[in-house]
Amino acid sequence: MINVTKTFLPDQEKYLQYVREIWDRGYLTNNGPLLQELESELKGYLNVDHLYFCGNGTIVLQLAIKALEINGEVITTPFSYCATSNAILWEKCTPVFVDIDPSTFNINPDLIEQAITPATTAILATHVYGNPCDVEKIEQIAKKHNLKVVYDAAHAFGVTYKGKSLLSYGDISTCSFHATKVFHTIEGGALISNHPELDQKLTLLRAFGHRGDESYYFAGINGKNSEFHAAMGLCNLPHVEEIIAARKDVFTIYDRLLNWDILAKPTHAKDMVYNYAYYPVVFPSETVMKKVMEDLAAEEIIPRRYFYPSLNTLPFMPEYYACPVSEDISLRVLCLPLYVGLPSQDVEHISNIINKSLLSP
């Protein structure tokens, strides 16, 4: 079976060496030495000053909203994983969905201002598939209207834009280190902040809002992560460049072989270095896409409808906002298998099945 992704695993002995050290110290969590080392290594790799390693990619979104004291309405994208909008709802804010750009699949900045009301306090945008949002235009709008900007950069680890990490944009960027990501810690996530004054607050928020047994500051939450997860991160971080290179090789084969007279894919921002996180293709119709899925499944090849459905259509949203581009793309997009170690002959086989399926009745 060929799944849409496969977790990269480092040298087992290297990981076990860290595990033995953890065993010897008996220090498993609560801001342990390996966690501190990983945070330091990540800050160096990304060239950022303030990074907080946390439990997962959803809790960091909630922590960002809480730390920036965001309330009321939050302008956001309908084309993302549900964690993006769920975090807004969990923090008792109201998601206001703005449609996406038909070329990049990111939130359309030209539609943001018309969605701003007196209740709007923030913009929460996703760098979809690791493709940068129009960060300059979003920043301009945010400054004009005194709004906070949070980027869900779950897909963007290793992406640079105009010479610096994409995670360094916005008031806070969040990242996921889930096992399916380009860089992973099995489960995990990170906050990257551009506000030094938030350092103490973010540190406390992820650890119940207190330090020691008596110093309680506010109602925090358990956003911590363990030494075992940090160990996996320390094992994987040295391999990021080779991981990206291997993914690029797969990406290049798809680019070369797929039938682009029928298929489409998002355009990438200029001035960026990509991480090849996903390989999305857009089909002429949902019917065609489903037929291709069936033909791939017959060969035990499992792609993913990523993202589907459009978040503005979820039944528990407090209000429906029409987003025709997102609603259309979400019905027709499919992410193809892409991971380190996927043999080139399998990529060719997948491409041939798709091309044949597209031309058959």
Per-residue pLDDT tens for 264-315?
999 998 899 999 999 999 999 999 999 999 999 999 999 999 999 999 999 9
| Alpha-helical segments (H) within the chain | 12-25, 33-46, 59-67, 82-90, 135-145, 199-205, 227-236, 240-257, 286-297, 324-332, 344-359
Contact in structure between 131 and 266 (CB atoms under 8 Å): yes
**239-359 placed in CATH 3.90.1720.10:** no
The closest alpha carbon to 47, from 154, 167, 135, belongs to 167
Asked if the model's pLDDT at residue 214 lies above 80, the reply is: no
Determine the Cα–Cα distance for residues 210 and 217; give it in Å rounded to an integer: 6
Going from N- to C-terminal start, the domains of the chain cover 7-237, 239-359
Buried b (16+ CB within 10 A) or exposed e, 207-234: bbeeeeeeeeeeebbebbbbbbbbbbbb
pLDDT tens-place string over residues 65-124: 999 999 999 999 999 999 999 999 999 999 999 999 999 999 999 999 999 999 999 999
If you average pLDDT over every residue of the chain, what do you get? 97
Contact between 190 and 52 (Cβ < 8 Å): yes
Q: Name beta bridge partners: 207.
A: 222
Q: Tell whether pTM > 0.75.
A: yes
First-last CA distance in the chain: 26
Q: Nearest 5°: phi and psi at 203?
A: -60, -40
Distance CA 252, CA 258 (A): 10
Q: Give the tens place of pLDDT for each residue, 19-49.
A: 999 999 999 999 999 999 999 999 999 999 9
Does the structure show a pLDDT above 80 at 2? yes
Could you list the beta-strand ranges (E) of 140-209. 148-152, 160-161, 164-165, 172-176, 189-193
* CATH match of 7-237 with 3.40.640.10: yes
Mean pLDDT of 233-253: 98
Burial per residue of 118-145, b for 16 or more beta-carbon CB atoms within 10 angstroms, e otherwise? eebbbbbbbbbbbbbbbbeebbebbeee
* Both tokens assigned to 190: 């990170």
Evaluate whether 153 touches 60 at the Cβ level (below 8 Å).
Answer: no
